[in-house]
Structure formats: C-alpha cells, structure tokens
Structure 1
Amino acid sequence: MRTHIAALSALLTLPLAATASAAAPPSSSDWEVGVVDSDQSFRGLDAVDRDTAWVAGGSVSGGAGSVYRTTDGGETWQDVRPPGSDGLMFRDVEARDDDTAVVLAIGPGEASRVYRTTDGGQSWEEAFRNQEEAAFFNCIDFAPGDRVGLGVSDPVDGKFRIIRTTDGGASWEVLPDAGMPDSSGEVNFSASGDCLTMTGHDAWFGAGGEDARVYHSDDRGTTWEAGDAALPSGAAAGVFALDFANPRQGIAVGGDFADPSAGTSSTSGDGRQWDGAGELTHLGEDVAWINRGRATALTVGEGGGTGGTSITHDGGRTWERIGDEAFHTLDCVPSGECWAAGGDGRVGRSI
C-alpha cells in the first residue's frame, strides 16, 4: 500500500544480549529490546535461528533505507545495506542463512526493487526493478527450500500483480494476470513484510481497502481465488499479515490504521475459508506461530500509542495481551525463540 515514509541510514553496532536459551513463548517481561538504529522504522525481519537475524527498514528523516544483520544473537549488528539506498524504503527481508538474503524496497514505479546477497551483505545484486508506474510491491516470500518465491503488488488495471522467482531470488518475472480475480479497489499493506506467505505450492496474500479478502494459489502463483477474510475493510483497514502452521491451518491479523487501539484476527482450517476469531487491544501488524502442534502463536502491533504483544494458545480463537512492547514485525524460529522489530530502530528478542 502506498505510504509516504522517507528513508535514511545510520551506522551502528549495538548490543542486544544473547543469553536466551528457553523456547517458551515470551511473557510481558520476556522481550529483551535494544536500539539498532534510531532513525529507522523496521518493518522487515527474518530470523534464521537463535543467533542469526536480518532486519530492514526505512528512515523517518529522509535518507537511506537500511538492512542490518546479526550472527551473534543480537550482541552486535552490522549495517549491510545495498549501495545506492538513498530514498529507498526496505519493507521485507527473506533470509536463507547468515550469507544469503533477499530484500524488497517498496514504492511506486522503479522505487519497488528486489536485491539479493550471497555473502552476508558485502555485495548485492539488483534482481528486479519494477517498470510499471502503477505497480507498488508490498511483500515477498519463499517456499520451503528457498528456490521458489513470490512477490505481490497493489492492483494494476484492476488486478493484483505477482512476480515469481525459481532460482532463489536471483531473477524475477512478472506473471500474467489472467489467473487473478478482479481486485479493483483493494490494496496490500506493507505493514510487516508478511502480507504474503508460502508453504510450498500453496501461497496466500491478504488485502484490504474496499474488501478485506485472502487470496489463495495452489500452483505457485499462476492462478488465484479470493475469499472473504472475515476482517474489517476500509481505506486503511484489512489484512496486515498471515502465517500458516501447515497448508491448512492459518491465522490472519489486521485492523484499521485509522483506529490503532483495536485489531482483530481470523482463522482458516482448510486454507480457503476464513472465520472471524479473537479480538485484539492493539493492531495486528504481524503474526507468527511458535508451537504449531499446540496452536500457539504471537501477534504484535505498533501505532497510536496503543501497541502491544498478544498470544494465543488455541490457534487464534482467543488472544491474551501479554505486554505493551510494540513492534511492527515478528518472526519465530523452530526452536521457539522469537524476534521482533519496530519503530525507533528497536529490535527485541525473547529470553
């Protein structure tokens, strides 16, 4: 979704303790938070494991977007932004390991770009630059194996636009829109870099605007079907993020940026139909499963001074607010540790 947030970068390595060992879900006192770059609003995050994570953001004062990486559990962070990042807003990062990552810069026309590194950010290649002025890419994701990935843009000529890679993000192609339903009046939200998610051949992305819907593809993005997301719609309302425990069990979270004091969620048990679920006392900007077998997930949101962190133990049917720590983006690794990031360059890690 089109926003007007400029980008600037700052140099820094910042301590964020690395003593976490427990895989238990965070409680209100279990986020350890540090400031990596106070000029950045971080909305892209990918946690590889308990030691390695990447964050990406845009400036609040008009300079360059930044990408940071840690390989020591947050003890130090390295500024590994692509060259020529002035004016770019990085809103998504998808990492394979401590060396390989793909980042998305958002914006209209050529501001939407994809960069890829295979040497930990020492060098980057521009893998995709949008040439359609009406397009505005919001998020990307990769299927397990990290070879096939998709990206989604706001509608062009009434249909969401999809790009796909089959070589790990080294190159991308714009897919034909014949398999995309009419999407007039709808938008994506680049709130957290997780408006699109993949589990294999299956992919989903969320939408808002005139209609709040979830789009599903079972052929790696060639064709799509859209269904009611069971979330509120509006100019700044809809689905902000999704996550799937498996190809059937999913949670979508969202809300309305015009009313950040409340958010909501919906759940799916078959990957296609969505039912309204638990309400939140803050925006649901991102969601991540912690314990997939026990239906435990976290959601975070930041906005309007009412952000917070909430947890579910029943697959999203009910949520308990466990703290006021506010973040835009969230990721949890299989061992149970979670990372989060947000405004003022903050990064948190569960301990």
Structure 2
Amino acid sequence: MRRLLGILCLALPLTAVPATQSLAAATPSDWEVSVVDADQSFRGLDAVDRRTAWVSGGSVSGGAGKVFRTTDGGETWDDVTPPGTEGLSLRDVEARGRNTAVVLSIGPGEDSRIFRTTDGGATWTEAFRNTEADAFYNCLDFYPGGRRGLAVSDPVDGEFRIAATDDGGASWEVLDDVVMPDSTGEYNFSASGDCLTIAGRTAWFGSGGEAARVYRSTDRGLTWTATDSTLTAGEAAGVFALAFRNPQQGVVVGGDFDPEATEPDGTAYARHGRTWTAGGDLAHLGEDVAWRRGNRLIVVGESGPEAGTSVSRDRGRSWEQLSTTGFHTLDCTRDGACWAAGGGGRVGMLR
C-alpha cells in the first residue's frame, strides 16, 4: 500500500489560485506560473540559479516520465528526457549546473533507476538499476563537491537500504555494511524529491508509516541513528521533506495524504541538527520546504483537499499561509529566486 500512495497522489485534485502576497515583503505579488507539459506531474526539481532549473515528473496518462531544463529563467523549457522512461515516475533530480544532472525514477524492483547526463540532457547513461524485488528507492542527494551521493530505499528485511556513489553519480553501489536502526513498518515518501537531504558532512532522511522519524548519519551514510520527528505517523502520514540551512538548523514538514485525516499538517525544527521540537501547524500539506534568506522558510503543498504556500519568518516556529497556490516541490537559490513545480505540468517562480 505504501508504494501506491506516492503514485495515487498524482490523481488527487489540486487548487491553483494566484498568490496574494510576496514572501519578501507585504506587497502584492504572484507566483509566475507556466505550464510546461500538462501531462506531467512534477515532483522533482533542482534550481541552480534564477536562470537555470531542472524539473522531472511522471505522466498522468501512462506515458513517459519526463525531464525539462530551462537556462533562460523559465521563458523556454527544453525536453531533455532520457530514453526508455515510458511508465516511469521520475521523482527526484539533482543538478550540478546547466549541463550535469542525475535523475531518479521510483518504484519496486527495476522501476527504481538512476540516469545521468553531463551534456545538458543531450545524452544520458543509466547509472543504476535496482535488482532487489523488495527495494523501492525514493530520493537522493549529494554531499558538497558533488562526488559522494546517497539514495535511500524503503526497508528491506526491516532496515532502510542505502545506495552510494563516489564519482558524481556515474556509478552506484548498494551498501551492505550500513548500521541502521530497525525500521520495520516505516517507509519514505517520494512526495517532492526531498525526503533525503545533505548539509556539510551530515545526511538526514525522513520516514512515515508506523513511526515518523528523522534518520541521521555523520559518516557518509554508513551509520544511522533515528529520532522522533514529533510529526503524526500513519499509513499515509509522516515526514515528507527536510531542509537544512546548515548542519545545525533544519526543518521537517509533512502531514497525512488521507483526505479524511483530522490531525493538522505538522512541522518541526531541529536543535543542533539532532533533536526535534514541534513547530507551527500548516493549513495545507507540507510536501516540500526550502530556506530562502535569513531565518525565512517557504513550504508548499498541493495534494489533498487544501493547497497552499506558507512562510515562516522565525525558522519554523510559526507559519503564515500567504496563498492557496500549491505545488509538490520547491527550491530556492542563493541569488534569491524560488522555483516550484507541481501537477498539471506547472512550474512557478518567485523572483
């Protein structure tokens, strides 16, 4: 059932209403929204800067999962999809500039694959294909410098599975000597491509199911500890995304994909990168979260009965909903731009 949830969420209704305030100041401003490919539900996004961004997704009609890239601030988007992605859901993309990117497709068994390009998507290589029937890879990220990267799978034999690369994603190895707490009954959510994140030398990933926990590693993914996130756990509930400003300051967001759920969609913030305190509640699912500038955070969500964009000005202690425009995935760049993407092939930008 857990493996169907991420795919079924593609069909949930979405709301798209113009934003009413800027996230930088209390003046009217809108997400600049464009439709890149209406057949795609975008859940993978990596924004390099205000001009260059990559998005990836899955077809709602059963066609190919696609990858698009812009290098002109979203004025135009190039279809740079790898070959052989029919029926695949490309839920995570991690870019190293305008030419190099790694894309993850999710799913059981061989549906979990990693593709890599170094020429802007003109050509791709398949860098990894999962061979374990019980594995289901959900998201990936890279350490600073871009050589070492990790990908996380739902538990196999009661423990989350980790794959790693040391050559920028050109090749991957499933780690067989990982020290992992018992994870029986837990799983990841591939809601936004940010269920695993890395800052400095520390990596984290979130879980849901029987427990909503945050897993943490300080030794390149070899040893992990788990801490309660304070978020509600459940069959369709838990941690959906994490964002760290540095190895000490982090935020997790989540909720419950069940439309009948009555618990508020929650957030939590980290103290010293390892313990978690409940933050403010959200009026919509928190499918993804990103730091913008200073202590400010943005969270977006579009699945379920309510969609929206919310902001925190106090590092996740409290949240204010600024819009009923929602997206699945979000990323903000150092030059001040925030990009978002979601259902119906929509991409939004806040400059």
Alignment TM class, shorter chain as reference: over 0.9
Conserved 8 A contact 2:95-2:101: yes
Deviation at 1:304, TM superposition (A): 2.3
1:270 aligns with 2:272: yes
CA contact (8 A) 1:51 1:74 kept: yes
Residue 52 of structure 1 is matched in structure 2 by 52
Q: Does 1:3 align with 2:29?
A: no
The match for 1:244 is 244
Local SS of the residue matching 2:279: strand
The one-character-per-residue Cα deviations of 1:10-32 (angstroms, maximum 9, x if unpaired) are xxxxxxxxxxxx99379773310
Partner of 1:64: 64
Note if 1:205 corresponds to 2:205: yes
**Separation of aligned partners in 2, 1:263 and 1:42:** 22
SS at match of 2:235: strand
Within a 5 Å distance, the mapping from 1:1-351 to structure 2 comes to: 1-3=2-4, 5=7, 24=24, 29-259=29-259, 262-291=264-293, 294-351=294-351
CA distance in 2, matches of 1:172, 1:163: 6
Distance, in Å, in 2 between the alignment partners of 1:278 and 1:130 is 38
SS at the partner of 1:55? strand
CA shift, 1:54, in A, is 0.2
Residue 15 of structure 1 corresponds to none
Identity over the aligned pairs, expressed in percent? 64
Contact 1:45 1:329 in 2 (8 A): yes
Q: List runs of 5+ in structure 1 lacking aligned partners.
A: 7-21
Q: Which amino acid aligns with 2:4?
A: T
**SS of the counterpart of 1:69?**
strand
Aligned AA (1:288): A
1:226-278: per-residue Cα shift (whole Å, max 9, x none)?
01011000000000000001101100000000047842100002111111111
Shift of 1:204: 0.1
* Partner SS state of residue 314, structure 1: coil
Cα drift, residue 152 of structure 1: 0.3
Output the aligned Cα RMSD.
1.8
Q: Tell me which residue corresponds to 2:17.
A: none
Secondary structure in structure 2 of the residue aligned to 1:147: coil
Runs of 4+ deviating beyond 4 Å: 25-28
Single out whichever of 245-254 and 302-311 deviates more from structure 2: 302-311
Conserved? CA contact 1:212–1:232, under 8 Å: yes
Structure 2 residue runs without a partner (length 5+): 9-21
- Cα contact 1:266–1:276 (8 A) shared by 2: yes
CA gap of 1:311–1:133, structure 2 versus 1, over 3 A, is same
Deviation at 1:305, TM superposition (A): 3.6
C-alpha distance in 2, partners of 1:99/1:26?
37
TM-score by length of 1: 0.92
Give the distance between the partners of 1:168 and 1:267, measured in 2 at CA: 30
Cα deviation code 1:62-116 (max 9, x no counterpart): 1110000000000000111100111111000000000000000000000000000
Go from structure 1 to structure 2 and tell me whether the alpha carbon gap of 1:127 and 1:208 turns closer, same or farther (over 3 Å shift). Answer: same
Deviates more, 1:254-263 or 1:162-171: 254-263
* Offset at residue 3 of structure 1 (A): 2.4
Question: Secondary structure, in 3 states, of the residue corresponding to 1:51?
Answer: coil
Q: Name the CA distance, whole Å, in 2 between partners of 1:289 and 1:233.
A: 25
| 153-162 or 29-38, which deviates more | 29-38
Q: Deviations over 1:312-345 (max 9, x none)?
A: 0000000000001110000000111100000000
In 1, Cα distance between equivalents of 2:74 and 2:118:
21
- AA in 2 matched with 1:277: G
Distance (Å, rounded) in 1 between the aligned partners of 2:185 and 2:153: 13
Give the conservation status (yes or no) of the 8 Å contact 2:200–2:246.
Answer: no
Change in Cα spacing, 1:25 to 1:183, as seen in structure 2 (3 Å) is farther
Residue deviations 1:35-72, cap 9 Å, x none?
Answer: 00000000000000000000000011111100000000
Report if the CA contact (8 A) 1:159-1:177 is conserved: no
Letter of the structure 2 residue corresponding to residue 272 of structure 1: R
* Partner SS for 2:110: helix
- One-letter code aligned to 1:264: G
Contact 1:28 1:323 in 2 (8 A): no
Q: Secondary structure at the match of 2:182?
A: coil
Amino acid at match of 2:290: A
* Distance in 1 separating the partners of 2:277 and 2:175: 30
**1:143 Cα deviation after fit:** 1.2
Distance change >3 Å, CA 349–CA 25, structure 1 → 2: farther
- CA change 1:349–1:129 in 2 (3 A) is same
SS in 2 for 1:344: helix
